[in-house]
Amino acid sequence: MFEFLSQKFSGVLGWLKDRGRLTEENIQEALNQVRDALLDADVPLDIIQTFLQQVKEEAVGLKTSTALNPGQQMIKIVHDKVLEFLGGKNVIAGVSFQIPSVIMVMGLQGSGKTTSIAKVVQWILEQAKSRSKTRRILVASVDFYRPAAVEQLKILAKTVGVDFYQATNADPVKAAQEINTYFKNNRYELLFLDTAGRLHVDSSMMQELKAINHALAPKYKFLVLDAMTGQESLKVAQSFNEAVGFDSAIMTKMDSDTRGGAAFAFKFALKKPITFVGAGEKIEDLENFIPERITSRMLGMGDIMTLIEKASQTINEQEQESISRRFMSGNFSLKDFAEQMDMINKLGSLQKLMRYLPGMGSVSPEMMDKGQVEMKRFRAIISSMTKKEQCLPHIIDASRKKRIAQGSGVSVQDVNQLLQRFEQSKQFVKIFKKDSNFRRFFR
């Protein structure tokens, strides 16, 4: 997610960072590089021109700062303007749903509407659970045009653990009214209604959505957009906004090779927020679109806070505390090292994790895949050791290495590589101890 923009911006900001003096020429050169990055990311030209003009206006009047050199001040201007385009500071994470409420979900066919409903419902349930609460949620569909759309939502509802209602009426508007009546009579708190899409915007779809909107008067309307369609998604959003209106967007397929231009331009172009972004096919592959964190990620500065939250949701507190104590003591064993790798695996692939770490925008997917394979190999090697060897790695001599290598199906060189990595990780503890964010990650 945003890897393309992160790589592009990192190059520009790296070039700016050490500029001790800013001139009209190198300001313009930096702006040209930013323009090229945004063009490559498929941001509309008129929005790029507005963005660059705003950056230039502030850069020209740049005042000397005792804390930052001119290059760093320029980076701050770019950062602040990107943040402004994405929605600004202090945007509420996710959305707080008034109870009871009907939530109408719209979008083109293939945008990921049905899966997004399940993801948002799962997010709501997790948020409620974190506050020791529960939510009575009903999901239903009036998408009678796409084969198996209704059945798909029924299966997803069962997966996340909420109720599903199948309307008996075949007319979408009357079916929506039937569903709404069932929702009210059974005192559910939230209703998510999946509506029909088309392969492209057409008048019959919009008329149907207008009728459902009028009949149900939903409290919230989400528009689901496929990020892979680039600038076209902005045109789609404009059409939905003019015909039916919506409150916020869910941007899907952000894990694909999409370049992030639509997300960059959306708030500025539509004057509406992106609330969630989907970055994978799994139910848990949904994130809040928090402008401050997304800006940091776009500019290659990482997003440690989101990573900490993911760790808190995925790894139980007792397990975190146990590994944290041993890890931060600097006296952890190979057994602890293996448990640490298991914890990382619970959070997802290395490729997904690296997007949250500062300065990792330039790391290629190939390197991440290689690291993932290496972790699996290391885990197999440790599993082939005796408990004594796992706790006291210094006793592993040449003969033990040979036995361990044979037992795990690797070479002695691979065993040596694991032991070297283990020693390096112990050295890194000294760095982690000084960083409160990393301590929180293992808390």
Q: What is the mean pLDDT of residues 68-85?
A: 76
Question: Is the pLDDT reported for residue 65 higher than 60?
Answer: no
Q: Is the dihedral of CA 102, 108, 114, 115 positive or negative?
A: negative
* Contact predicate 333/393, CB 8 Å: yes
Question: Is the pLDDT reported for residue 9 higher than 60?
Answer: yes
How far apart CA 352 and CA 262 sit, in angstroms, is: 21
Crossing angle for the helix pair 317-329 and 304-314, to the nearest 10 degrees: 120
Q: What is the mean pLDDT of residues 237-259?
A: 86
Determine the pLDDT at residue 179: 97
Determine the pLDDT at residue 220: 95
Mean of per-residue pLDDT scores for the chain: 81
Nearest of 353, 351, 280, 283 to residue 311 by alpha carbon:
353
Q: For the ranges 63-77, 115-129, 179-193, 258-272, which has the lowest average pLDDT?
A: 63-77
- Could you tell me which residue, 242 or 355, shows the higher pLDDT? 242
Alpha carbon distances (Å) from 400 to 154, 177, 353? 55, 72, 34
Helix (H, G, I), strand (E, B) or coil at 270: helix
Give me the amino acid identity at 440: R
Question: Is the pLDDT reported for residue 311 higher than 70?
Answer: no
Determine the pLDDT at residue 210: 95
How far apart CA 124 and CA 106 sit, in angstroms, is: 19
Q: For the ranges 20-29, 87-96, 254-263, 433-442, which has the lowest average pLDDT?
A: 433-442
DSSP annotation of 137 reads E
How far apart CA 68 and CA 424 sit, in angstroms, is: 34
How far apart CA 348 and CA 354 sit, in angstroms, is: 10
Name 158's Cβ contacts closer than 8 Å, sequence gap at least 6: 164
How far apart CA 64 and CA 204 sit, in angstroms, is: 59
Determine the pLDDT at residue 404: 93
Question: Is the pLDDT reported for residue 442 higher than 50?
Answer: no
Question: pLDDT band at 282, cuts 50/70/90?
Answer: confident
Q: What is the mean pLDDT of residues 111-132?
A: 92
- In the chain, what percentage of residues exceed pLDDT 70? 73
Question: pLDDT band at 327, cuts 50/70/90?
Answer: low
Q: What is the mean pLDDT of residues 90-94?
A: 53
Determine the pLDDT at residue 33: 84
Determine the pLDDT at residue 66: 47
* Contact predicate 259/228, CB 8 Å: no
Name 153's Cβ contacts closer than 8 Å, sequence gap at least 6: 114, 117, 118, 139, 140, 141, 164, 194
How far apart CA 48 and CA 273 sit, in angstroms, is: 19
pLDDT digits (tens, 9 = 90+) for 256-274: 666 678 888 898 999 999 9
- Element holding 224 (H helix, E strand): strand 220-226
Question: Is the pLDDT reported for residue 423 higher than 90?
Answer: no
Q: What is the mean pLDDT of residues 320-346?
A: 69
Question: Is the pLDDT reported for residue 144 higher than 50?
Answer: yes
Nearest of 263, 233, 269, 285 to residue 111 by alpha carbon:
233
DSSP annotation of 146 reads S
- Element holding 88 (H helix, E strand): none
* Contact predicate 259/4, CB 8 Å: yes
Determine the pLDDT at residue 328: 60
pLDDT digits (tens, 9 = 90+) for 182-212: 999 999 999 999 999 887 888 889 999 999 9
Q: What is the mean pLDDT of residues 134-145?
A: 94
Q: Is the dihedral of CA 123, 124, 125, 130 positive or negative?
A: positive
- Could you tell me which residue, 362 or 267, shows the higher pLDDT? 267
pLDDT digits (tens, 9 = 90+) for 371-416: 778 888 888 999 999 999 988 888 999 999 999 999 999 999 999 9
Question: Is the pLDDT reported for residue 130 higher than 60?
Answer: yes
Determine the pLDDT at residue 68: 52
Task: Output the DSSP codes for 148-168.
Answer: THHHHHHHHHHHHT-EEE--S
Compute the half-sphere exposure of residue 148: CA atoms within 13 Å on the CB side of its CA: 4
Question: pLDDT band at 441, cuts 50/70/90?
Answer: very low
How far apart CA 240 and CA 233 sit, in angstroms, is: 11
- Could you tell me which residue, 67 or 134, shows the higher pLDDT? 134
**How many Å from the N-terminal Cα to the C-terminal Cα in the chain?**
26
Torsion of Cα atoms, 281 then 283 then 288 then 289, to 10°: 20
Q: How many Cβ atoms are within 10 Å of 142's Cβ, its own excluded? A: 27
The tokens describing 373, both together, are 């394979």
pTM above 0.95, yes or no: no
Question: Is the pLDDT reported for residue 167 higher than 60?
Answer: yes
Check whether the bond before 100 is cis (ω within 30° of 0): yes
